[in-house]
Structures are given as C-alpha cells and as structure tokens.
Structure 1
C-alpha cells in the first residue's frame, strides 16, 4: 500500500542552496498508485512504480526540492500534477507558467488503488502546504509541515512560524494519536509522539 523512495538533490530559496534527501511516497495498490512529492529523480520514481498506473503527482508544497521531478514524471506517465494554488509564486520560481497543475483545496478527497486520502491545507512552511490523511491506513503524509521533533522550517520567504503552529494544532494534532506521520525528509514519527511537545515548540519559536 505504501512505498518510499529517497532521492537526493538541492533545495534553493532566498539565494541559498542546500543538499537535501527527500522522501518520495507511493500510495496505492499493485495496479495503480499516486506519488506524494516528485523530488529530484524521475527515473528512480518511475522504477519504483514498477509499471503501475500513476493516477496523480501530489505536491505537498512547491519548494523546488519537492517538485523538480514533477514535470518529467507527468510527461512520462500522463498523470496530472496537483498543488494548492496558494503556492503559485513558489511554483513559478521553478516552472514559470509553462507547466499546468490541477488545484488542491482543503477537504478534497483523492484515491489510488482503493486508498482514500483527504487533503488538509496546512500553511506555514509554505502558503499552499498540504498534508494527506489516509485514515484507513492510519497515516498522514506531512510534507515539510511536521517532522520528528517539531514543525518544518519557517525562516525563509513565504513562511510563518505562528501559521505553521496553528496548522499543526488544528489539522494534525486532532488526528488519532496512533497516526503515523510520514514526513518529507528524515524518519517517520507519530502524532502521539509529537503532540506533547507543542508548547516547547512555541517557546522555542518565539
């Protein structure tokens, strides 16, 4: 039902560039799947699909390291790219207006191979950041909104610490405590492991 490919490349914003490893998640069945965050290496993602039909390329946000393989993957498979339109300025930094996407909205439901995922708009790390909750699997794909140890970074353009904390409190910490959080970078965690630390994050962030 859930597969992962770790790809490597760079993240660039505000004049800086950093080496990063990204988690690319594949969700679905033996026949079809969707991809969460097409990062860096379209051939590696295609190999992991292993011939399955790709139903969608879902972007948790439009920082370049999460979308820089999206066009190549879409062209190879015919799958649509899905993104929250509040991230249009970040999208245009990578693709201009040449690559179309379909808009995501809070509460949308996606499916692949019998797996249902509900879109949670969780701005803060980026204006259009979203998480994808798959209740039957007991998981949420958090992109860069929530990591093991705290919220995603908010020190760069188009980000807000207060907003990301509100998003996590209202959209993620309300999920069942046993929900596994599959992140955009690094190790997975659970809602139950992260929830007790909310006040620590707030104190640290101010």
Structure 2
C-alpha cells in the first residue's frame, strides 16, 4: 500500500518503506501526537521519535525487538508523556536538544546540538536546532542516498506554517531557522510533523512570505 501519512488516534499505523529505512507513523492521544518508529533495514535497530503518550500502544508498535534510542523533539509535555514508561521497558538511550533537556523529566543521556548526528543502525540523522517554539527544539534530517530527504520537524513546521510561538522574537527566530536549515533542502523533501498530516517542502515553500506577513 502507498504511504499517505494520514493516521488517527486508535487507528492503524502507516508505514513508509524506504530502501534503507522503514518509518512507521502512529497517532496517540489525547493531543493527537505523532510518534515515529525508525528501523534500519540492514541491522534491524530501531529508534523512536517522541514517546508522546499511550506507552502500551507505542510498545506494541515497537514490538519484541525493542528500541536502541528515543529522541524527544522538544520539551513540551505532550511529547514525552510516555517517555519514562517506554525507557523503563526498553532500556533505550534518550536524546533531546541540549537547551530543552532540563524541561524533560526523564534524564537525557545524549544532549543534542545543531549538526549532531543521531544513528539508527547504519542510518544517520542530522539534527537541526530550531529556536522559537521552544529554546531547544530539534528537527532530524534523513538525507536518503537513494532519494529525497526526509525531515522530522516536531512542532516547528506543519502543513500551513511554523509551530506556535509566543513572542515576535520567537516567531522571527523560528522562521529564520526554518529558512536557513530546512528550506534549503529540495522541494521533494518529505516533512513528518509532530501532529497531523505530512507535507513536502514544495507544498509549503510558496507560502513563506505569507507566513512572514501574518506573523504566525
């Protein structure tokens, strides 16, 4: 079946099968968060992005092979409600942006800075530090050698605009970071956000000036 990225809380996961990486997307409640399970096809090692909620649903998706690591994209509570239980069950290493680590109640084993590499098996993900939604939000870029890039943006980029910001300075910082570190990628780049449906940079790029003008 063709991957759509359209998932609902309580519904089935959707799987994006790439040559070197399998990406399983699942929605969990009560805030309709997305969690992403990445599996290296060469080694079968797994990594989870955002243990957001519903630990048992996440553990069921992870399966008996467990996970080597879990990355929290940012410190907002709806993105780590299941983190303690998932880590206790799997022994996974924890990763988070350095500036957000203190706001996550589960200790961060590996603080992540801009351009750091996070590995899952033979696959490398490059972190992009984006300031604005939170001080330490990170996006993860998988530059697929067999195709276009794939980016896990947390709450920094959605279909229709950037994530929520509180102050003008935060909005300007987030937009500047997105333009400098994400929108430099090609239009085919697939975007996996922290909530809702996926998008591509090509779909969003024409609206950048509109977002700047509206201020959110």
TM-score with structure 2 length normalisation? Answer: 0.82
* 1:161 and 2:171 are equivalent in the alignment: yes
Residue 196 of structure 2: which of 149, 165, 186 is its match?
A: 186
- Partner of 1:72, secondary structure, is helix
After TM superposition, list the pairs within 5 Å mapping 1:127-146 onto structure 2: 127-136=135-144, 138-146=149-157
On the 8 A contact 1:107/1:120 being kept in 2, the answer is yes
| Residue of structure 1 equivalent to 2:6 | none
Find the aligned partners of 1:133 and 1:48 in 2 and give their Cα distance.
22
TM-superposed deviation, 1:113? 3.4
* 1:68 and 2:78 are equivalent in the alignment: no
Find the aligned partners of 1:8 and 1:49 in 2 and give their Cα distance.
17
After TM superposition, list the pairs within 5 Å mapping 1:40-79 onto structure 2: 40-79=53-92
TM-superposed deviation, 1:89? 5.0
Where in structure 2 are there 5+ consecutive unaligned residues? 1-21
* 1:197 and 2:207 are equivalent in the alignment: yes
Deviations 1:73-122 (A, max 9, x none): 1111000111112114532xxx2xxx311201111111213321111111
- Partner of 1:54, secondary structure, is coil
The runs of 4+ residues in structure 1 deviating greater than 6 Å are none
Find the aligned partners of 1:88 and 1:111 in 2 and give their Cα distance.
19
Where in structure 1 are there 5+ consecutive unaligned residues? 10-19
On the 8 A contact 1:28/1:114 being kept in 2, the answer is no
| Residue of structure 1 equivalent to 2:98 | 85
Aligned residues: 188
